[in-house]
Amino acid sequence: MFSRNVARQASSIARRGFASSARAERKVAVLGAGGGIGQPMSLLLKADPLVTSLSLYDVRGAPGVAADVSHVNTASEVKGFEKDDIKSALTGAEIVVIPAGVPRKPGMTRDDLFNTNASIVQTLAEACAEYCPKAFICIISNPVNSTVPIFAEVYKNKGVYDEKRIFGVTTLDVVRSSKFLAEIKGVDPKDVKVTVVGGHSGVTIVPLLSQTPQGKDVTGEQYKALVKRIQFGGDEVVQAKAGAGSATLSMGFAGARFTNSLIRALNGEKGVIEPTFVKSPVYASEGVEYFATNVELGPNGAEKILPIGEVSAEEEELLKACIAELPKNIKKGVEFVKSA
């Protein structure tokens, strides 16, 4: 059942969602490819005609995943690497997608993962700085609000930092917003685009429902419930999985979608815009160094950081709560590297 659904999803993505433009050699490395997110995401990347080469790395299990995925009859080649062979995995990679690390269990917040995942992300950043310093980095490992600053600090220390090339993947919040709002309105989610700004955990996730035609008339208790569901949608999955992990399949989908957008932009397609958590001027004057907004992607990565735009009174309040929390998460990441 699982494999049938993924195959159907993969082929439908290949047909519709992941439209192709110019052909170019695009090597994508996945770090953490053996995990709950890594496996379905690798499958979806294999189904994406824009990915020409896939390099799957994990401390364990990636060669098996690579062997399996490599039988899918699309043109890209797939190689698997494990343990100390990260150099071979990263050499020549243009895009590195990182879902390595431990996921949440019921009752945990994303910040509870900090101690374990901070060291993993730091180690992987050191390897990327050495073996593919110009690659575009898409960080999925939580807490994203802290792991993105960790990655950036390692790159600064190594003298290879380019703020346009490091992205925190917040696409799952965008995907959830679209789906949950579409459910309320009884419409097809493909027609519902919601911009989500801020960060990627709890109250730092700020959906700008007032900016979408389907969202602007959602009010009162229904509005509050929808915002809460978007902010804490991950908890629904963690609870339903009852100790067996957090969102993996929907995250695999979201990670593959973000990667596809990035490749389309690298290939020269104009107007590719995705919300993503990046080094940002939007709230820099208030001490918030990183912030997710709509970002126009291009051949250099984060080409243009777009403004938040007009927001409702409710969204102003959500942004206040976000801004009160986010700098603490960012500081924690920065200090982790500085104190090491």
Binding positions: 32-38, 58, 104, 110, 117, 140-142, 176, 251
Enumerate residues 6+ apart whose C-beta is below 8 A from 130: 87, 158
CB nearer to ligand NAI: give 83 or 338. 83
Alpha carbon distance 66, 62 (integer Å): 6
Q: Taking the complex as a whole, how short is the minimal distance between the CB of residue 8 and ligand NAI, in angstroms?
A: 22
Whether residue 139 contacts residue 326, with contact meaning beta carbons closer than 8 Å, is answered with: no
- In terms of DSSP bridges, do strands 77-82 and 166-168 run parallel, antiparallel, or are they unpaired? unpaired
Instruction: Please compute Rg for the chain using Cα positions.
Output: 19
**Which residue, 155 or 253, is less far from ligand NAI as judged by CB?**
253
Name the minimum Å distance from CB 85 to ligand NAI. Answer: 11
Minimum CB distance to ligand NAI, residue 275 (Å): 12
Closest residue to bound ligand NAI by CB: 35
Q: How far apart are CA 151 and CA 138, in angstroms?
A: 10
Beta bridge partners of 138: 97, 167
C-beta of 21 vs 109, nearer to ligand NAI: 109
CB of 74 to ligand NAI, least distance (A): 23
**Which residues contact ligand NAI by CB under 6 A?**
31-32, 34-38, 58-60, 99-104, 113, 117, 120, 123-124, 140-142, 144, 169, 172, 200, 245-248, 251
Burial class, 331, CB count within 10 angstroms (exposed 0-12 / middle 13-18 / buried 19+): middle
> Residue 71 catalytic?
no
Which is nearest to 187 in space by CA: 151, 215, 229, 207?
A: 215
Instruction: Say which of 27, 200, 257, 264 is annotated catalytic.
Output: 200
Smaller CB separation from ligand NAI, 103 or 215 = 103
Binding-site residues for NAD(+), please?
Answer: 32-38, 58, 117, 140-142, 251
Q: Exposed, middle or buried, 109 (CB in 10 Å: 0-12/13-18/19+)?
A: middle
Q: Which residues are catalytic?
A: 200
